[in-house]
Amino acid sequence: MTPPKSAPTQPEASETDLGYQAAQAAYDAAQQDTNMVQIVAPDGSVVRPDLLPAPDIRLALYRQMRRARHFDERGWVLYRQGRLGVFPPFGGMEASQVGTAAALTKNDWLFPTYRDTGAALTLGLPIARTLAYWRTSPHGWHMPADLKVLPFYIPIATQYPQAVGAALAERRKGTRNVAMAFIGDGGSSEGDFHEALNFAGALNAPCVFILQNNGWAISVPTRTQTRATDLSRRADGYGIPGVRVDGNDALATYHVTAEAVDRARRGEGPTLIETVTYRVKPHTVADDPSRYRTEAELEGWDAKDPVLRLRTHLLQEGLMTEASEAELLAEIAAEFEAALQEADSYPDPTPAEILDHVFAEPTPQLRQQRAQILAEEQQ
């Protein structure tokens, strides 16, 4: 008797596939989460008309998102041309960065991670200075005197407790200024993250914490580095408000952040905001994401593009036309090329310049090191 044939076995899903599927499922599930704030759906339709910002704010947000997208796209080209160093792209996360930073003024503090170029540009960091930073030029090593933006943080989570310190300093000086710090989902598992939330909560610091949950900690999916599915709930352990928002909806991110900023200015303490988004780009321009995910896995995210979402909304509402958008894009392109020419005009750095922006007043050790470098140059 011939034994019955068994059904063909399906190949076992890899950890990478499971990681992507979990990220996709988490984002889609969040769309149905009544606790997640959303104003505009992925198709551009309005789901919360009562929360819509004023038309001028919506147009301003779109302009900043387009500026950020243009920088990200041109950055890739410049890197391939050897005219820009390694930098972490942020395309697809513009709503998360622009919508949050737009709630600040130039009197407030911004503590960005290495991926938050879009946030820094939104607050006012000049494009030429930003290009110089990613070229490792001394002209980008210090921030403008009229802007409280810290250099992009490479260490993970160290910016969070430092932001609390800046917020407390502002309160001690009697201002109503706030500090905003960014972090990723992976960084929220670091000790500094938890210490900062406890620090800020205990001392009622005027601080706004942005937690960008983009599904990946370099090549590690969120599901692997934590079993938590709602990272905004981490605020509960420290007695501060936690808000979850659609990180691909610029209007929603702006709304919840503006509320958190106003709350901090009133002396009501810190807020943790989780922006649910996705890192569609590689970890850096030098990263090879094909080692841990496939191009096919990214197909579903095109429909969730934050720039496309706001563009569709503005066109549907009659706040923007194809012609006015074309003028905007031409203006942004011209602005970038002028900034690029400025960055190209900066002189090459000298070895001693590496010591110029370490302390406001050089220490004796720095003076000694500078003298040694200058002496070696003359040999």
Query: Tens digit of pLDDT for each residue in 255-283?
Result: 999 999 999 999 999 999 999 998 888 88
Give whole-number Cα distances, 200 to 208, 250, 368, in Å: 10, 26, 39
Query: Looking at residue 140, what is its pLDDT?
Result: 87
- Residue 28 pLDDT > 80: no
Query: Looking at residue 6, what is its pLDDT?
Result: 46
Among the listed residues 238, 288, 304, the one whose alpha carbon sits nearest the alpha carbon of residue 16: 288
- Residue 11 pLDDT > 60: no
Percent of the chain with pLDDT over 70: 91
80/302: higher pLDDT: 80
| Token pair 């503006």: residue | 258
List the catalytic residues.
279, 283, 292
12/109: higher pLDDT: 109
Q: What is the mean pLDDT of residues 328-340?
A: 98
The pairs formed by 132-140 with CB atoms below 8 angstroms and a separation of 24 or more are: 132/343, 132/346, 134/75, 134/84, 134/85, 134/86, 134/87, 135/83, 135/84, 135/85, 135/343, 136/85, 137/343, 137/346, 137/349, 138/349, 138/353, 138/354, 138/356, 138/357, 139/343, 139/346
Q: Which helix (H) or strand (E) holds 142?
A: none
Query: Looking at residue 18, what is its pLDDT?
Result: 58
Q: Which helix (H) or strand (E) holds 336?
A: helix 322-345
- Residue 70 pLDDT > 70: yes
- Burial class of 118 by CB neighbour count within 10 A (0 to 12, 13 to 18, 19+): buried
- Residue 334 pLDDT > 50: yes
Q: In whole angstroms, what is the distance from residue 51 CA to residue 46 CA?
A: 10
User: 3-class SS at 31?
Assistant: helix
Give whole-number Cα distances, 197 to 120, 200, 211, 238, 375, in Å: 23, 5, 12, 6, 47
| Token pair 């005197």: residue | 145
- CA 32: distance to chain centroid? 24
> What pLDDT band is residue 20 in, cutting at 50, 70 and 90?
low
Q: What is the mean pLDDT of residues 145-155?
A: 92
> What pLDDT band is residue 24 in, cutting at 50, 70 and 90?
low
184/289: higher pLDDT: 184
As annotated, the residues of the chain forming the CATH 3.40.50.970 domain(s) are 31-348
341/86: higher pLDDT: 341
- CA 368: distance to chain centroid? 38
Q: Is domain 31-348 annotated with CATH 3.40.50.970?
A: yes
303/95: higher pLDDT: 95
| Token pair 């005219």: residue | 83
Query: Looking at residue 94, what is its pLDDT?
Result: 96
Query: Looking at residue 272, what is its pLDDT?
Result: 98
Query: Looking at residue 10, what is its pLDDT?
Result: 40
Instruction: Give per-residue pLDDT as tens, 206-224.
Output: 999 999 998 888 777 888 8
- Residue 19 pLDDT > 50: yes
